[in-house]
Structure 1
Amino acid sequence: MTTAPPDPMIGRLIDGRYQVRSRIARGGMATVYLATDLRLERRVAIKIMHGHLADDNTFKTRFVQEARSAARLAHPNVVNVFDQGQDADMAYLVMEYLPGITLRDLLKDYKKLTPEQTVDIMDAVLAGLAAAHKAGIVHRDLKPENVLLADDGRIKLGDFGLARAASANTATGQALLGTIAYLSPELVTRGVADARSDLYAIGIMMYEMLTGEQPYVGEAPMQIAYQHANDTVPTPSSKNPAVPVELDELVLWATARDPEERPADARAMLDRLREIEPEIRGVQPAATQATAVLAEPSTATAETRVLGPSALAAAAPTVAATALAEPAAADADAGEDTAALTTGAERRKRRGYWIFALVLLLTGLAAGTGWYFGAGPGALTTVPATSGLSPDAAQQVLEEAGFQVDPEERHDVDVPKGQVSGTDPGSGDLAQRGSVVKLFVSLGPKIIDVPDVIGSPEADARAALAGAGLTVADGAQAQFSDDAEPGEVLALVDADGAPVAEQFPEGSPITLVVSAGSVPDVVGLPQADAEAALGEVDLVLAVVGEEFDNSGEVPAGSVLSAETTTDPVRPGDTINVVISKGQDLVAVPNVVGMKMSDAIPALEAAGFTVAHSFPAPFLPFVTVTSQDPAGDAQALRNSEVKLVGTLTL
């Protein structure tokens, strides 16, 4: 049996900061890995674009759009995005790591969910989506794979790779990039998407959660798309009679073919879900008729069984009889012991008072101590995670956990300005309930004055920039220059290639543009030597033509002229050259003894010009007596031949 080759990304250090540990998942655009942020010493999920898409500007733009879309959201039900950048030719996105499963994994294991479970999950999904819609973002790719169920119970919405601003309703040819099973009719027919298109996908997801299957299936994607455009989604209760009518109505509202008949946005649908939630939970038996947990009587090791209302009805007589029999037996035993108890009561009464008082005192002390350390001010509780939230939301989370909040500001290279960057004590640490927790609000990266390093050697420039607190990218861009010595810094650029201004944010990488010296002058060199000279500095020679050199300065086979194809010129660029064919020499016809009128056309036909001293009418009567150059000699094409003749009348 063959084994898959090891993933080359495992163990790699990305951008000098993120150590890749293992692979989590692989999708159509990118692969997600578990990594360690060495700077902040925390686990993160890093999403790396597939190498074959790195040169595709459309995919790269969509990849960067995911970071920008998700970074605009600060909500407990949306996966936090910490960083985005590019390492060499590899675009990456750093996100919050949530150990757990996806909604798709849950559906694979359980096929379908109960109405209560569906309501719980959809409440969180709609809350996160409502925040996106409020920020003007349409997700465009909602499906169970993008709903994350963390091990600690948190539910978050992720993967904004197809997200767009809500005003960008014209989708052109990219409209069908979402999963076909969840595409709205308007996306299929017109390529248009808005917030209501997301709600259509939510309705399809609810149908699948309640029934265990998607409403539309087909052998080809176009068959499914046709059903989305022309059919009406059936009620979930038609497949699963246990689904309440309120959820039927919610699914039909979300999946209406006409977008105008759907909820306006996720907030409207979330409000409706919360209105009907008490009715949905009320469908189950009340507390007095609650589901009972009974042990299997046949064996002591039998598994506990959960019995519904029908089983309870059958078990009711036995349970009732047992409940009545136990008090009756107790009363009989009590009657027999009454006399003995009365005899000893008086004897125990006197000493019982002080024992009772002591017990009360000890009980009070134990209860007070237990309350103080278990639920009171002395209790230890976990500091909740607040990074990426707004200050108001984070303060509410901390106060609900029992802490006092002391807001402070600090610069942070990863968290956008205005969002919470962390706490002290940190999230996950234990602290006494009622104690003060410092809440750090990000001021964004610190803006640093960039030292003037233009013209400095590369090593000196790196030291000066690092000393100022700036981040310098590994490696440098080489660029040919006639005005700078090799190794001198020509310019500073940011991650997008734009020139760095006099001030630059902390933590953002600066790339040095360093001189590679002058482009070698290869004019006059034989072609092979010219190609070798350019190859030594990683330039490519391309022959674009051949020409004669009648000056005689460049022999045949050597470079007659060279021209750059880019500005500026960098290693790997192409230099176009024209190769000399030498001088254009042809044999001079011998016209001595010919009539001048015949000699002139003969020389012109051979490619020469003619000089003589006779008027045109006399040419038929002039005999050529000499010529220069002489006949059969080699001369440059288009050069002049002088003729001398004798007039014979």
Structure 2
Amino acid sequence: MDTQVADTLLGSLIDGRYRIRGRVARGGMATVYTATDERLERTVAVKLIHSTQSQPGRAGLAGFVDRFTDEAKTIARLTHPNVVAVYDQGTHAGMPYLVMEYVRGRTLREVLTERRRLNPDEALAITEQMLAALAAAHRAGLVHRDVKPENVLVAEAPSGGPANLVDSVVKVTDFGLARAVEASTDHDSGNQLMATVAYVAPELVSNGRADARTDVYSTGIVLFEMLTGRVPYDGDRPIDIAWQHVDRDVPAPSTLVPGLPKVLDDLVARATRRDPAGRPADAGTLLAEVQVAREGLGNPNTQTAMLSAVADGPALAQPTMVVATVRPAERPTWARLPEGGGATRGRRRAVPDGDESLGSRLAGLRTRLLGESSGRLAVAAVVVVLGLVAALGGWWFGVGRYTDAPQLVSMTKAQAEAQAAQGGFTLRYADPRHDEQIPRDGVLTQQPAATDRILKGGTITLTLSLGPAKFPMPDVVGKEFDLAEADLVSAQLEVVKGTARYDDGLPEGVVVATKPEAGKEVKPGDEITVILSKGRAPVTVPNLVGKNLNEARNQIAQLGLVLVEPTYKQSDKPRDEVIGQSPADGSGVEKGAQIRLEVSEGPPLVTVPRVIDLPCQQAKQVLESQGFPVAVQFNPEAVARFQNPNENAQVPPGTQVTIGCF
């Protein structure tokens, strides 16, 4: 059990469903926790894949999450008693996770650490169940790529007793995980080898290719270790160990543990041949060989010879090497040999005595049919009819019921449905995905492919396009260029530098703007122009508001700035007084920068009322009530005979009006 130290996930709820209860183990690629599925009220194992954060930038690669999701779906379709079931998948805090069956038991690595090596019957029993799991995967087109004791779980034996490994249930885990991580590292780490070097097949080292025979090789190495207590090669560096698989043959287990039967040496040699063509084609083929070997080892004479041969050899952790007799009828249904296989293979079955009378009767019938002409004609007719039926049946089942799949790729969804309906086909839709070339709802792929054979009226699976992958432009304003560039590159955007400009609020080298702006829709591969700050400009704009236009013009010229033609606006300020400016005072600008001023054109004009022929005192009151200062000439007690400005004249507010009274 891994020590739980300051693990922030303990007690947390993932995806609103899985309550983390404890940490089971932590490895190079993932950490395994026990959790409670609060929806179904069962204990599960949660594997959190953290290797995507071990190398900068990998977590941002959409390819890894997509490949991991695809692998999880494939693994979930594997239904087999020796495969750890996958229930769910998702992401938590940017890290993908799998929800799996919780197996109560130990890894084969822990068993070997405790026992060092196993009896042949135990080793073969575990190998059988490993191969049964791998055979199911190979039939589904899935290659494990990382078979090793750490990925083999030995559950508690149904018959009880921790040492009874023959009856233990073995489950294989981590199908496809190495492949998903390897696919995400190809771009960054130069095809780094995602396999454990002690068990890696030669072809994975030399050319990076893997198929079902790769898993066969790794299983052979695991069998070697169970029989001998060690792996065949060691070295100071992992690469040295890996290349020994390419350059050397795996030694026979009996060279390390004298007395092991030759059939075990042959099994290991067959499974670990350096040339993949020399190995069993897949795990199912090797499983049949292991079962035959195990049944042969159950022979009492073989057991006696083994006990005698190992009497002076190294002691096992358990005191016996007796191989349990295994009869085909006692195997679970998933591990039984076909009828006539195993120990009975190659031997003709004796005919029971009771069948001889039936044979005599059949011989008599043959004589009667072929001895008469009518009988011979009847037999010939039957043969002809049966031949025609066989020919027609063979044509129908082999050719007649098939047709060619139509070409649907690049069509729109509606066009594909119409074309399929015309041919009588049924359509299914796989998960859609983004594509830069095919527009949304266009057909990306079809299965079976165009012109491939398909049953008339069969089902065609289509994958539709989501169109180009678009997302909001990241906001990098205010970040230094290196950080902004890293964010944009991780989003698969192309970065170019634009012309830098002065900015009063941001220091030199910091992003002041981007084209397109933050929040605009972009897609992978788009070119983003980044504009950096040159810092504060060298000239500070003075405060010109409240100054006369001529005074402001002189001050602007002295600073080496350029005054744009002023804009006049109505204002209660005196005419030619500056009432606004751009840029604002205190702003930094370069020499030669343009300054724009708003200038008052004075208050709105008012109309002078008529006061002629009014008594002088009344005329004065009328003018003053409308805001005009009044100057009276001659006799204040007389009648107003003239006024200046004249009646209805348009004058600025506060203009003095002179009246003459006599």
TM-score, with normalisation over the residues of structure 2? 0.45
Q: Which structure dedicates a bigger proportion of its chain to strand?
A: 1
TM-score, with normalisation over the residues of structure 1? 0.46
